Amino acid sequence: MAPVQPLFAPDAPAASVDSILRSNFRPTGEVDLGMNILLVKTAGKLIMIDSGYGSYGGQASGWLPQSLTDAGFALTDITDIVVTHAHPDHIGGLLTTSGQFTFPNATIHMSALEHRFWTADKPDLSKSKFSDKALLEKIIGIIHTTLAGIKPKLQLFDYNTTLLGCIKPELAPGHTPGHTLVHVSSGNETLVHVADLVHSDVLLFPHPEWGFFGDSNFEQAAATRSKVLAALANGKTKVFAGHLAWPGLGHVRAKDQAFEWVPEVYAYPV
């Protein structure tokens, strides 16, 4: 995404942002935003968390169906889709360009709070840093169209529930009012999908307060980010991050009164 500011850290000193990017050998003109999709396989179910951008991102998006095929899964294999929040890069892949269900056998699960916010005629985004009103109207239009299209397969949930026997949703508001973390449990192990809690490893772990322009409530998102990162660091919890570098797996570690991202290390056969 470009430019870095005001999309990332909109109120932070530009020199400080550039310094962090340079010291981490990152370009200062853009942030490479990852797009990772998590599959959870259980007995009799194949659960997907979010659905990507679909066709809305042009040639830079819409690769998920082919990626699933390459991984050995058919679109008809997906039994359930848990939506972390209703931004287009998370629900845009639920429908095809002709309005058909991309995953025809899947039940779609979404927070009732999130659904209620985005189905309002004019969602209240007055506490966001999003300044491009025309783009904002386009995004809201995509959300309204998608939510209307998925209605026959949509099940709404509250936060005092367990989904599909292995998933516990947690409200983490700010990025959107119903922004949801997804706790996936298997035996004594837990993986937490943090959705859009963080959009940059080198900017928002050391400075959770710097934030992201797309946060619906900028200040609330910053407070939630700090609180959740502290809990993940204290619990040494394994994390899946949708917008960090592939595959988005790692841990949060406390550092210098803030945090750092410790990515999981993998060895591949050659």
Q: Delimit the domains of the chain by residue range.
A: 4-263
Q: What number is the average pLDDT over the span 246-250? A: 96
| Higher-confidence position of 58 and 63 | 63
Does residue 267 register a pLDDT over 90? no
String of b and e for 205-222 (b: at least 16 CB within 10 Å)? bbbbbbbbbbbbbbebbb
Does residue 58 register a pLDDT over 90? no
Among the listed residues 199, 219, 207, 191, the one whose alpha carbon sits nearest the alpha carbon of residue 255: 207
DSSP3 helix / strand / coil % (the chain, rounded to 5): 30, 20, 45
Name the β-bridge partners of 189. 186
Top CATH class, 4-263: alpha beta
Does residue 266 register a pLDDT over 90? no
**Confidence at residue 258, expressed as pLDDT on a 0 to 100 scale:** 98
C-alpha to C-alpha distance for 35 and 29, rounded to whole angstroms: 19
pLDDT bucket at 99, cuts 50 / 70 / 90: very high
Mean pLDDT, rounded, of the chain: 97
Single-letter residue type at 115: H
C-alpha to C-alpha distance for 99 and 44, rounded to whole angstroms: 27
> Token pair of 155, please?
């099940």
Among the listed residues 202, 108, 204, the one whose alpha carbon sits nearest the alpha carbon of residue 148: 108
pTM for this prediction: 0.96
**Confidence at residue 270, expressed as pLDDT on a 0 to 100 scale:** 80
